[in-house]
Amino acid sequence: MAETAALYDEDYYAWTRAQADALRRLAAERWNGPLDLEHLAEEVEDLGRSQRHAAESLIERIIEHLLKLEYSPAVEPRRGWLISTLNARTHVHRLLTAAIRREVEPRLEHAYANARRVAVLALWEHGEVSSGDLLPAACPYAFDQVLDEDWFPVNQHGLTDRFT
């Protein structure tokens, strides 16, 4: 029981998966109690899954803004992209447990593809069609760079920020 309590504190996502598995094992043993074990297992699993989805969403937002910071020649929206990137990085660090990272990191290319689509459309919306067309097909960022609160890509147009 102490291990389970420790896992809850250390890696909530892993705890939800372990608890869902335990509930399903109990159901398979035909436990005769008043609990709807299969639905409880699904609900517990969904709690953890929502944290993983939130982390994935934040990673996509970070990548989207890193792309715009790197490829956009525009000066005006940069501060907002920097702020959004920093906020998302802070929040993702709160969610990113070891178990979530093991599942999310291998999906970096998938996250990049989603973020790239949004970044292209956002750049096109600002009249930067040629910038949107320059975005690489494959993710140019390592997972640790995406998460690094002090790392930002070099702007392709020579723009610099006091912050970066």
pLDDT per residue as tens digits for the range 116-138:
999 999 999 999 999 999 999 99
Question: Does the pLDDT value for residue 48 go beyond 90?
Answer: yes
Mean pLDDT of 89-115: 97
- CB contact at 8 A, 147 and 93: yes
Confidence bin at 45 (pLDDT 50/70/90): very high
Q: What is the pLDDT of residues 69-101, one digit of tens each?
A: 999 999 989 999 999 999 999 999 999 999 999
Question: Does the pLDDT value for residue 164 go beyond 60?
Answer: no
DSSP per residue, 56-82: HHHHHHHHHHHHHHHH---STTHHHHH
Mean pLDDT of 1-25: 91
What is the third-level CATH fold of 2-147?
Answer: Malate Synthase G; Chain: A; Domain 4 (1.20.1220)
**Averaged confidence pLDDT in the chain:** 95
Residues contacting residue 155 through CB under 8 Å, at least 6 positions apart = 69, 70, 71, 72
* Sequence spans of domains, the chain: 2-147
pLDDT computed for residue 32 by the predictor = 85
Question: Does the pLDDT value for residue 2 go beyond 90?
Answer: no
Q: Which residue is it, tokens 């140019």?
A: 140
Confidence bin at 161 (pLDDT 50/70/90): confident
pLDDT computed for residue 39 by the predictor = 96
Which two three-digit tokens encode residue 6? 């420790």
- CB contact at 8 A, 14 and 97: yes
Question: Does the pLDDT value for residue 1 go beyond 90?
Answer: no
Long-range contacts of 85-92 (CB under 8 A, 24+ apart): 85/61, 85/152, 86/149, 88/58, 88/59, 88/61, 88/62, 89/58, 89/62, 89/147, 89/148, 89/149, 90/149, 91/58, 92/55, 92/58, 92/59, 92/62, 92/147
